[in-house]
Structure 1
Amino acid sequence: MTPGRVRFWRSAFQALLLAAVPLAAAASPQGQQPATAKQVRAAAAGALEAGDSKTAYAFSSALLQRDPNDRTALLLNAQAARSLGNFKTARQSARRAWQLADTGEDKFNASLIMAQALSSGGQRNLAQFWLRRAAHHAPSRLHERRAIRDFQYLRATTPWHHRLSFSITPDSNVNNGSSETSIYVPLYGRRFGLSGSAQALSGIEHAVELNSRYRFKASETRAHDLLVSAEYRTYTLSSEAKAQAPGTKGSDFAFGSLTAGYAHKGLNFGRRGEYRLGIDTGQSWYGGEEYTRFLRLNAGQSYKLTPNRTLGAKVLAESHNGLRANDLDTLRGDLSYSFRTKSGLSVWSSLSVAEADSSSAVEDFTELGLQAQITLPKPVFGAIARFGFSARSRDYPLSSFSPAGRQDDKFTADFSLTFRQVDYYGFSPTLRLSGSTTDSNIDLYKSNRLGVNFGIQSAF
């Protein structure tokens, strides 16, 4: 049978079924029975597959007149309405199919079609939420990969991109206080006791951070973004800390910031390199009161030496106008190198130098720092595992406590786990253990810190 005849008989069969609805109609005088719901569903699905959305919409609408809770008809109706540009009806049918879904596969199908209807209607951010739902209820790994692939495509092509994170961290030193109970001051040749609030206070940090990007212009090799970010950290003091520093509250050390800026990036060096330029400005608050206003300029360049080896450089100039603090201008430079071995081990390292100039001479400093992060090739307890190390040395030429100035050496180590196999709507739990110690020639600035961070981050 020729393709033309196949199309002819298919159209004739569909026309016959359409004439047979509504399904509740009685048999004809000749004794012929109307089409069954199963036959009409099959015809609607066949019409969709053949690209005949009008017929599919008519059949599915007839099915819904018979039974408004027909899940299959709702899905077919949503797909057909979307193809016809009737996005409102498509969303309504997909949402009703979701509400009626009682299996993971039904929820996956409803979520996927809802996301398609939203995306076609221009609501791409909301579509990403429904794709997270689809991935969460995917009946197989193959279905999950499809939802994730669609999500990543939408994120890459959507002007707006948002990233929200939460964390809770039990911390041995929420106020960055001294590890000493008293300090020796060389200028006076005697020791002074420290108040309870100047010593390390233990408690729990509660943090939330939102980063938003609007890509207002982009090409194959260039992108221009407007950026907005907000951060807030507050604390709950332990009973020991409250006894140590009566009258002190965790909110006394709360920190918040609001930032807005512009960023431009592009490919260069035959697409082996990427440059980045940015400027942002904002304000911070400490203890609920205005703290500083700031302006930052940054420029960076990365270059792929090989597919698995990358070299990078970055310069940051930052100016803080103190509202409750001294003015501080900082210039920082970083040189980084990262590589990935054949076994899958990833290593990132960085060398940094910085110089700061303050309105108060005792806050001027020079700094040298080293950082490294290692990502293990195989999961640990089913999670992606990372080790981090850093060392920083600061020299303050002048000090109110010592004629020799002030020298601080800080060492930090951390271990983190990201449980990608445990996710809810595409978000995975994280666990991070960290510790740091600061050694100084002035006792006031000696400190130790231990923390256990519980957080949530996007798995894709």
Structure 2
Amino acid sequence: MADRFRKLVRCRLAVFTIWMLSALAVAAQQPNSAELDIDTAKRLSLVFMAYGQHRAAHDVLTVLAARHPRDPEILITLSRAERALGQTEQAISRARQAFDIAESQAHRHLAARVLAEALASAGKHTRAQLWLRRAGQLAPTDAAKAAIRRDYAYVRSRNPWAFSVRGGISPTDNANNAPTSNQIEIGGIIFVNPAAQPISGTEYHFGGTVTYRFPATVTAQKEITVAYDGRRTRLGSEASSIDPGLSNSDFSADRLTFGWQGRFRPAGRQTVSDIGTRLFFDWNGGNRSQTGLALEAGLRFPLGDQQRLRLRGRLEHLDRLDNALRTSTTTEVGVEWSFPVGGKDFLRVDLSVADSASDSAAVARATNRLRATYALGQPILNAHIAFSADFRQSLFDRPLFGPERREDSAIGLSATATFAQMDVFGFAPVVELRRERVQSNISAFDTLATQLSFSFRSTY
């Protein structure tokens, strides 16, 4: 019965299509009557698309587009029909034309989204993601933005290439990481360093990552990455009087990283293991300072109710080019536990212990770290808020200044606000306020710093 009904519908649609095409052909010769049928023809093309009759829709829309070449609605629907028929290049061109001539925000949003769909069908996933960000910027409603996010996630999952950029500005009251006191006592003698005073400044952070994902299998996903991160500092006006020998370039830092990572999940199991390696090169003050090689591995356990537990380990070797004595090898193990609180909030706890072996008494040490992050589930004044607290304790292996071994205790507190509703092309502004206090039995390493950071974070 259902088959007979579908055949009857298709038959009537075919008859109606022939009639409409004939009517449009006649209307094309009679400009005054053409306008009488355009709305009906548009609705008919949408009906054809809904019933999967893409060829019929294409035929109707082709006639309409010839008659009304600057109607974005016709071009948008025609692009969808061409894409459904496998004519992706024509669909891309048609959607781009619709975007160029569209005047309303709604039409520009829809044209950008249809163009992204056509690009994705043509295998041009990166360009499709860029156009989806543009469509998201033009989305007229929250529902439309949510649909763009779903489309973006779908296209990203099928794109072997991934690109990310990052950047931020961080004013600070201690750009040179100076101690709270410029006096140090060695062997009962007090030494004073007039240049060891905090200098205000502004740090500029920027970077990007390119990732290539190899074709995934049922049990494995592997990828390689190339990343760059840089930092530039502009010192405050007091720098020239505190330490005339300092310059902004002394605080520049650059890192180039090459990495490989694999994630594995045995068939029928929920645990996920990951292993990766990174080779990185550092520059400080414009000069090569060190080369590093790190091996990392982890094992994730889903505990139900959105809980996650991850055990991890890291082995890192730093080859210091500026001071060979400070070459070091660090081993670290840790555990991360994240879980919901009260149904909407989220808490993450990270605990680790590490040991750094080195010939330098200023480097060799054991370090314990504890970090907790609490993210609020409900926004406050349209901002997603998260609070973090971290504690770090380091005990150095051998004395360096005097008979006592150096021991540091650091406490950091930060609050982060992400304004997702103010996103620009899918990048939302992020504001972070952080204050860190390091207490040391060696006064030269006792520091206090406050930093305010402004950056952008992708919401997709």
* Residue type at the aligned position of 1:72: E
Counterpart-to-counterpart distance in 1, 2:26 and 2:139: 33
* Residue type at the aligned position of 2:395: D
TM-score when scaled to structure 1? 0.92
Question: Residue 82 of structure 2 aligns with which residue?
Answer: 81
Question: Residue 133 of structure 1 aligns with which residue?
Answer: 134
Counterpart-to-counterpart distance in 1, 2:267 and 2:388: 31
Q: Any stretches of 5+ residues in structure 1 without a counterpart?
A: none
Deviations 1:294-348 (A, max 9, x none): 1000111121233243322111000011111331111111122222123423221
Counterpart-to-counterpart distance in 2, 1:42 and 1:337: 54
Counterpart-to-counterpart distance in 1, 2:369 and 2:5: 75
Question: Residue 153 of structure 1 aligns with which residue?
Answer: 154
Specify the SS of the correspondent of 2:215: strand
Q: How big is the alpha-carbon RMSD for the aligned residues of Structure 1 and Structure 2?
A: 2.4
Aligned length: 455
Which of the residues 234, 239, 246 maps onto 2:237? 239
Once the two structures are TM-superposed, the CA of residue 22 in structure 1 deviates from its matched residue by 5.1
Once the two structures are TM-superposed, the CA of residue 126 in structure 1 deviates from its matched residue by 1.5
Question: Residue 348 of structure 2 aligns with which residue?
Answer: 348
* Residue type at the aligned position of 2:102: A
Counterpart contact for 2:73–2:107, Cα < 8 Å: no
Question: Residue 6 of structure 1 aligns with which residue?
Answer: 9
Once the two structures are TM-superposed, the CA of residue 448 in structure 1 deviates from its matched residue by 0.9
Question: Residue 277 of structure 2 aligns with which residue?
Answer: 279
Question: Residue 432 of structure 2 aligns with which residue?
Answer: 432
Greater than 6 Å deviation, 4+ residue runs: 31-35
Specify the SS of the correspondent of 1:36: helix
Counterpart-to-counterpart distance in 1, 2:235 and 2:277: 36
Matches within 5 A, 1:130-279: 130-186=131-187, 189-196=188-195, 198-267=196-265, 271-279=269-277
Counterpart contact for 1:228–1:261, Cα < 8 Å: yes
Once the two structures are TM-superposed, the CA of residue 118 in structure 1 deviates from its matched residue by 0.5
Once the two structures are TM-superposed, the CA of residue 268 in structure 1 deviates from its matched residue by 5.1
Once the two structures are TM-superposed, the CA of residue 15 in structure 1 deviates from its matched residue by 2.0
Specify the SS of the correspondent of 2:422: coil
Q: Which deviates further from its counterpart, 228-237 or 49-58? A: 49-58
Query: Are residues 1:303 and 2:301 paired?
Result: yes
Q: Any stretches of 5+ residues in structure 2 without a counterpart?
A: none
Percent identity of the aligned residues? 27
Deviations 1:332-373 (A, max 9, x none): 111222221234232211221111112424321111221111
Q: Which deviates further from its counterpart, 421-430 or 356-365? A: 356-365
Specify the SS of the correspondent of 1:272: coil
Once the two structures are TM-superposed, the CA of residue 69 in structure 1 deviates from its matched residue by 1.2
Q: Which deviates further from its counterpart, 172-181 or 275-284? A: 172-181
Q: Which deviates further from its counterpart, 11-20 or 440-449? A: 11-20
Once the two structures are TM-superposed, the CA of residue 243 in structure 1 deviates from its matched residue by 3.2
Specify the SS of the correspondent of 1:10: helix
Counterpart contact for 1:422–1:428, Cα < 8 Å: yes
Counterpart contact for 1:27–1:34, Cα < 8 Å: no
Query: Are residues 1:290 and 2:288 paired?
Result: yes
* Residue type at the aligned position of 1:363: V
TM-score when scaled to structure 2? 0.92
Once the two structures are TM-superposed, the CA of residue 3 in structure 1 deviates from its matched residue by 4.2
Counterpart contact for 1:285–1:291, Cα < 8 Å: yes
Question: Residue 61 of structure 2 aligns with which residue?
Answer: 60
Counterpart-to-counterpart distance in 1, 2:408 and 2:191: 20
Deviations 1:199-230 (A, max 9, x none): 32211111113233221031244211112221
